[in-house]
Amino acid sequence: MIKKDLAAFEKYCNGIRPTEYIFNSENQSNSGSSLRIQTEFRFNSMIVRPNRILFRGESGYLCFNNVDHVEVLTSSKPIGTFFQIICIEKGENKRHTYLMLAE
């Protein structure tokens, strides 16, 4: 795992040039909930702003706020590069992790 700030992550993605970013609910932590909803969203562009990552595609957008850093998983598979977006709730000191794939 390689920890990157948002500027370094944006530079990294510009270097690997993914054609799409995939968010799949099956890859997310369930946080102990028994509710299982399966969704998959594909995005063709990413915009990085201070503490925010926005993914855009034909079906809409997905925005992560309060992003602290991104962890690129070094054991990624041949299908692409997995990365975790780490968001921090400032007032409550809670950490939320979202797994995505760059293909």
pLDDT (0 to 100) of residue 77 = 66
CA distance 103 to 95: 26
Task: Check: pTM over 0.85? Answer yes or no.
Answer: yes
* Residue 11 DSSP symbol: H
pLDDT digits (tens, 9 = 90+) for 6-50: 999 999 999 999 999 999 988 887 655 666 678 899 999 999 999
29 three-class SS: coil
The count of other CB atoms within 10 Å of the CB of residue 72 is: 19
pLDDT digits (tens, 9 = 90+) for 72-99: 998 756 788 999 999 998 888 889 999 9
CA distance 75 to 35: 29
What values do phi and psi take at 66, rounded to 5?
55, 40
